[in-house]
Amino acid sequence: MVKPPPLTSRRDLLLWTKRTLFSLGIKPKKKLSQSFVVEPQLIIEIMRYIQHYKPLTILEIGAGLGTLTYHIASLCKKVIAIEIDGRLAFFVKKLTRDLGNVEVITADILEIDDVFFNNVIVGNIPYHITSDIILRISKSKCPLAIITLQREFAERLVAKASEHRYGKITIITDYLFEKKICSVYPPIAFYPTPSVYSALITMKRIRDYDDIAKSLEKLLLCTFTERNKLAYKVVNKCTNIDISGELPWLREKRVDQLTLNEFLEILHIMLKIRK
């Protein structure tokens, strides 16, 4: 019988994690960003948000040792746990087989079918593919994501215009989601200990990835290649339309000073002129 992951203390969960990895003969792989949660408070906080939203099905990104998987299974009808490491996936199947509502899939999260992303999503996102996952979530019908990210990336998602971390991914997710950094966790919340702080963030969908989102993303990809230049010059070059007459404030701002609403104004004028 597999002993379930304890949430009694950080020390107990760390010991369980080390013993389990040792028994499986697994050394965490840095290239897969394998770092396992050993802070019970992080698991409990995620569970609290799940209890609040009451989803039927949850997609978990990166099941790891099943620490989160095991505990959230009691809060929904089904958990679909994705894990790229076959050895870990096999263990999670054993850990959760008596629960009856956990499906473990051995796969690269970026290669699974889009339909999986249409559920509520939880997980500790691998640092090396964070941008790709956020974009997959954005383009899906995921209603809510409760995810742990590198703190620096989480701050990019909630940055304001003119701030250093403000960029393309900030604006496109501003259009699609209501975002909130809930808590910040130190490196010792994970094993092996990473060199960075992590942040738990919620992303609650406010609109689908529609035609406006597609046009916005295309405009952002072009304009942010010259983020520090005057907005009217860059926008004119990217759209092949001189819209500074319609929007004179473009002459006074750099690209990275433009807010979501200002980019939407640019799109509105651009589409009106092209018609």
pLDDT digits 0-9 by tens, 103-155: 999 999 999 999 999 999 999 998 889 999 999 999 999 999 999 999 999 99
Q: What confidence score (pLDDT) does residue 32 get?
A: 65
In the predicted model, what is the mean pLDDT of residues 18-23? 96
Residue spans of beta strands (DSSP E) within the chain: 36-37, 57-61, 78-83, 102-106, 120-124, 144-150, 177-185, 190-191, 198-205
Total-model pTM? 0.94
Q: Is 90 exceeded by the pLDDT of residue 36?
A: yes
| CA triple 261-262-263, angle to 5 deg | 90
Percent of residues, the chain, with pLDDT higher than 70 = 98
Those residues with Cβ within 8 angstroms of residue 138's Cβ, 6 or more apart along the chain or in another chain: 172, 173, 176, 177, 209, 213
**Distance in angstroms (rounded) separating the CA atoms of residues 247 and 235:** 11
Token couple for 81 = 């746990």
Question: Is the separation of the CB atoms in 89 and 106 below 8 Å?
Answer: yes
Q: Determine the Cα angle at 140 with ends 136 and 141, to 5°.
A: 150
Q: Mind listing the pLDDT tens digit for each residue in 168-177?
A: 999 999 999 9
pLDDT in tens, 143-170: 999 999 999 999 999 999 999 999 999 9
The CA distance from 258 to 31, in Å, is 36
Q: Is the pLDDT of residue 34 over 90?
A: no
C-alpha–C-alpha distance, residues 85 and 190, integer Å: 18
Place of tokens 């690209």: 255
Q: What is the pLDDT of residues 167-206, one digit of tens each?
A: 999 999 999 999 999 999 999 999 999 999 999 999 999 9
Over 90: is that where the pLDDT of 243 sits? no
Question: From CA 61, how far away is CA 81, in angstroms rounded?
Answer: 6
φ, ψ of residue 194 in degrees (nearest 5) = -75, 175
d(CA 152, CA 159): 10
Q: Find all residues with CB under 8 Å of 275, minimum gap 6, and list them.
A: none
